[in-house]
Amino acid sequence: MARFEIDDVADFVVVGTGAGGATAARVLSAAGHSVLMLEEGGWLRTEDRPRDMVGAMAASMRDAGAQATRDAAPMPLLQGVAVGGSTAINSGIIWRLPEDVRTSWTRDHGLGELVDARGLDAAFDAIERDLEVAETSDDLLGHNGGLMRTAAERRGLPGRAMVRNSKRCEGSGECLQGCLTEARRSMDVSYVPMAMRDGARLHTHCRVSHVERRWGRAVGVVGDVLGADRKPSGRFRVRARRGVIIAAGVLHTPVILLRSGLRGQVGKRFQAHPGSAIVGRFAHAVGQGGGATQAYEIPMRARGFKIESLSMPPEMLTARLPGVGAEWMERIAQLDHHAHWVAQCRFEAMGRVRVGFDGRPAVTYHPTARDVGVLLDGLALVAELMFEVGAEEVYPGVHGVPEVLRSVDEVAALRRPGITRADLHMVASHLFGTAVAGRSARDSVVGPSLEAHALRGLYVMDASVFPTNLGVNPQHSIMGVVHRASAQLANQERAGRWRWAS
């Protein structure tokens, strides 16, 4: 019997097909290299994706959305596990790398070449053309987003219609379940097929366990082929003639690196943008379903948070309504009268990812008192904005604060001292920093070219390499940085710097 169910070879093997992996595959294959993509999840065809939220989460999210930090108050960490990675389940919000972050990465982390303004802007321009990036039009704001715009205008806040990679959006409000019309240009319907048109190949249901090395360089990966039950049904090996690119996302990339013998800063600088939502009830219908899933935002960068409209399917919104019995039934009967807005925060806390006893990522992460203050400030502003546009009731969802606020004066309860992390529920879907890039091998895992300091021919190309979080939605910055690094790699390999024959 063959030892490996799949035994394959390519110039470059790319592990993971999310924002980072798919971009690397697209750039390298367009430059004429042979590329093989490995993806733990399946390729969920648009028409086969479950439309109900619970089914959609089970089909496309890591642990059906139950992956969380290990803590007395666990924080869910949402990630996609499918072709397209987390982009297959996201809202398509697009932000270029903020200038203050670019400056800090240049000055404090020696990444000036990687994030050089001209080069990075050219990468962003190319991605925006490829992924049909456009500002959300007024008719797609929906009432949920439209109400937020009115609130921002009344308070003189810097709100804006979101820029998203879905110019042809029809406003079905179902981005998280997968876009039926494929208007949202997630990686599974854009860069993965584009790379395949240029000759790249893809093996799905292949979970990489570690990188193989020979003569001091990375020469391939091995792992498990997964069956329909997601359990191992065989082994695979893929050899890489020129480079191994790990892009398994912020929690799984460090696990692969640690299993492959890398140490130092691997897993140590985990960061996030945790967020929490507030629901408000209005006298008139709000209608969650009308408009884009996420449409309007109010960036409050100096205060460390951003407010976003987020339409929720009924089964999720219902879970946020307070009360029991007749009171609860009365609120449910008015489900379409509720707005749902989120405060997404740039936390300062740094956590750590280790390999857990079960072989999966074990994440420790403790938001600081300052972080708790930032989130409460964001939630208080959300509540004030809802009252500004006529909310009758606001449900803050914070332990120790009344579960229903009925006037703007009651919002002060969210600013009272004594509320701790354990009183708050948060979710994080923007994750960073477990294999950071930098100049020195002591302080970072990969150099400015994203090649590992400790192993030649091994590259990390996902959000793990970000030395700090951003304060804005990350997919575009990830794609931009990887676009640049993989274009440099393609050119360097074409010039024949490394040549390793299998």
Ligand X SMILES: Cc1cc2nc3c(=O)[nH]c(=O)nc-3n(C[C@H](O)[C@H](O)[C@H](O)COP(=O)(O)OP(=O)(O)OC[C@H]3O[C@@H](n4cnc5c(N)ncnc54)[C@H](O)[C@@H]3O)c2cc1C
Of the two residues 297 and 377, which places its CB atom closer to ligand X in the complex?
297
> Interface residues for ligand X in 325-364 (CB under 6 A)?
none
Residue 293 contact among ligand X, ligand SF4, none, beta carbon within 5 to 8 Å by kind: ligand SF4
> Nearest-CA neighbor of 110 among 446, 460, 469, 473?
446
Q: Work out how close the CB of 435 gets to ligand X at its nearest, in angstroms, rounded to a whole number.
A: 10
> Nearest-CA neighbor of 232 among 209, 249, 266?
209
> Where do the DSSP E strands lie in 227-325?
232-246, 271-281, 296-300, 305-309
Of the two residues 86 and 265, which places its CB atom closer to ligand X in the complex?
86
Residue 483 contact among ligand X, ligand SF4, none, beta carbon within 5 to 8 Å by kind: none
Residue 473 contact among ligand X, ligand SF4, none, beta carbon within 5 to 8 Å by kind: ligand X
Of the two residues 401 and 481, which places its CB atom closer to ligand X in the complex?
481
Region of 148-156, 167-175, 349-357, 392-400 interacting with ligand SF4 (CB under 6 A)? 167-175
The footprint of ligand X on this chain (CB under 6 A) covers a number of residues equal to 41
* Interacting residues of 344 by C-beta distance below 8 A, sequence separation 6+: 273, 274, 275, 305, 306, 307, 308, 378, 430
d(C-alpha 291, C-alpha 439), whole Å = 45
Residue 41 contact among ligand SF4, ligand X, none, beta carbon within 5 to 8 Å by kind: ligand X
User: Is residue 41 a contact point for ligand X (CB under 6 A)?
Assistant: yes
Q: Which of residues 79, 172, 309, 486 is near ligand SF4 by CB under 6 A?
A: 172
Of the two residues 256 and 389, which places its CB atom closer to ligand X in the complex?
256
d(C-alpha 311, C-alpha 295), whole Å = 9
CA distances from 390 to 287, 333, 382, 387, 396 (A): 15, 19, 13, 5, 16
> Nearest-CA neighbor of 44 among 17, 21, 24, 13?
17
User: Is residue 186 a contact point for ligand X (CB under 6 A)?
Assistant: no
Q: Which of residues 81, 169, 445, 479 is near ligand SF4 by CB under 6 A?
A: 169
Contact by Cβ (8 Å): 79, 249: yes
Residue 79: CB atoms within 10 A of its CB come to 23
Q: Report helix, strand and coil shares of the chain as percent, to nearest 5.
A: 35, 25, 40
> Nearest-CA neighbor of 170 among 127, 136, 197, 204?
136
Of the two residues 178 and 389, which places its CB atom closer to ligand X in the complex?
178
CA–centroid distance for 167 within its chain: 20
Q: Work out how close the CB of 232 gets to ligand X at its nearest, in angstroms, rounded to a whole number.
A: 12
d(C-alpha 446, C-alpha 175), whole Å = 33
Residue 252 contact among ligand X, ligand SF4, none, beta carbon within 5 to 8 Å by kind: ligand X
Contact by Cβ (8 Å): 106, 97: no
Q: Work out how close the CB of 328 gets to ligand X at its nearest, in angstroms, rounded to a whole number.
A: 27
Give strand pairing partners of 341.
278, 309
Q: Which of residues 478, 481, 487, 490 is near ligand X by CB under 6 A?
A: 478
Residue 207 contact among ligand SF4, ligand X, none, beta carbon within 5 to 8 Å by kind: ligand X
Region of 243-251, 274-282, 339-347, 371-379 interacting with ligand X (CB under 6 A)? 243-251
Distance spanning both ends of the chain, measured CA to CA? 23
> Interface residues for ligand X in 88-127 (CB under 6 A)?
89-93
User: Is residue 343 a contact point for ligand SF4 (CB under 6 A)?
Assistant: no
User: Is residue 49 a contact point for ligand SF4 (CB under 6 A)?
Assistant: no
Residue type, 451: E
> Interface residues for ligand SF4 in 85-144 (CB under 6 A)?
92
User: Is residue 170 a contact point for ligand SF4 (CB under 6 A)?
Assistant: yes
> Interface residues for ligand SF4 in 184-203 (CB under 6 A)?
184
Query: Residue written as tokens 């089964």?
Result: 315
Give strand pairing partners of 223.
208, 236
Sites of contact with ligand X (CB under 6 A): 15-21, 38-41, 78-81, 85-87, 89-93, 176, 207-208, 247-250, 252, 256, 429-430, 462-463, 473-476, 478
Binding positions for ligand SF4, rule: CB under 6 A: 92, 166, 169-175, 179, 181, 183-184, 292-293
